[in-house]
Amino acid sequence: MKVSFKDFRNDVPPNWCPGCGDFAVLAAMQRAFANLGLRPEQVAVVSGIGCSGRISGYIHTYGFHGTHGRALALAQGLKIANRDLVVVAAGGDGDGYAIGLNHTIHAIRRNMDITYLVMDNQIYGLTKGQTSPRSAMGFQTKSTPKGSIEAPLSPLMMALAAGGTFVAQGFSSDVNQLVSIIEAGIKHRGFAFINVFSPCVTFNKVNTYDWFRERVVPVETIEGYDPHDRKLAMQKLMETDGMLTGIIYQDPDSVAYEDRIPGFRKEPLVRQPLKPSREDFEAL
Ligand code: SF4
Ligand code: MG
């Protein structure tokens, strides 16, 4: 039976604000899973704390709404226990780049075969609008009323420097691009790191949809862009102030952490019949 994105819907209505960028990320995940022919029981979505962290409750797959900044610790544990499960971790920039940053860096360099989506709205939304590690210098919020005096984190350059084997960036306003990035990320044999510009329409009145639209630079628009060239990826990220979108870097020879463990059992530790098989999946 053909799988549809509707198979990944549940009956829990999201309580995100109307217009929140996270709606598009949820829809893109549902479409990507369906396009890959996955069934809900083959997928686990693990999230941290924040508005975006609710996403694991709004999708019809296995779901785990974990603790703040620990989505990747949980996701990696799940993957090592059941290597046939498609594991997707998700959270916000506060979750992944502040309290959870150390997990993010080590998960990137460890290169387990999981996909990580960061809904980057450059603010703390759930706690009603404080400066995040992604907020720009001078950004005014309740926590920095005279403007932030800290430099923002550059997540994609950080991921490349940490040895990332799949580094990509999407934008909630371009769902088709995001669907194809998520599909490619799931098919990638290793850790797929995907930052998504996902505007907070309620508390961030600076980094709006229009603000991003005016600044994003899709890699397809750069003549001769080679996503297998890490140095070029770093250079173009610097030239565009981190506004590149698309698959920015992918190592075609990536070997996942699980496949490097000598003698590690081939079968999942948790047994359950899953289709398609790993071979079917690779052939996609
Ligand atoms: Fe989205 Fe911001 Fe509303 Fe949270 S507060 S649901 S991030 S728009
Ligand atoms: Mg945030």
Q: Is 51 in the pocket of ligand 1 (CB under 6 A)?
A: yes
> Are residues 105 and 162 in contact, defined by beta-carbon separation less than 8 angstroms?
yes
* CA–CA–CA angle 277, 8, 194 (5° rounding): 75
82 in a structural domain: yes
pLDDT in tens, 224-279: 999 999 999 999 999 999 999 999 999 999 999 998 887 776 665 555 545 556 66
What ipTM did this prediction achieve? Answer: 0.96
10 in a structural domain: no
Q: Is 50 in the pocket of ligand 1 (CB under 6 A)?
A: no
Half-sphere exposure of 219 (CA within 13 A, CB side): 25
1 in a structural domain: no
Ligand 1 pocket, mutate which of 93, 121, 128 (most atoms under 8 A from CB): 121
pLDDT of residue 284: 53
Ligand nearest to the CA of 94: 2
pLDDT of residue 271: 56
2 in a structural domain: no
135 in a structural domain: yes
Residues of the chain below pLDDT 70? 265-284
As for how many domains the chain has, the answer is 1
- Measured between alpha carbons, how far is residue 53 from residues 35, 45, 46, 227, 260 in Å? 24, 10, 8, 30, 31
pLDDT of residue 66: 95
CATH number reported for the structural domain that contains residue 241 in this entry: 3.40.50.970
- Measured between alpha carbons, how far is residue 175 from residues 5, 15, 28, 117, 172 in Å? 14, 20, 6, 14, 6
Pick the atom of ligand 1 nearest to 17's CA. 3
Find tokens 């998520």 and name the residue. 182
**Other C-beta atoms lying within 10 Å of the C-beta of residue 200:** 28
Pick the atom of ligand 1 nearest to 119's CA. 7
Q: Which residue range(s) make up the domain with 223? A: 16-282
219 in a structural domain: yes
pLDDT of residue 254: 96
4 in a structural domain: no
Q: Which residues contact 63 (CB under 8 A, 6 or more apart)?
A: 44, 45, 46, 47, 56, 57
242 in a structural domain: yes
Whole-angstrom Cα distance, residue 51 to residue 19?
13
* CA–CA–CA angle 35, 40, 42 (5° rounding): 90
**Which protein residue has the closest C-alpha to ligand 1 atom 5?**
125
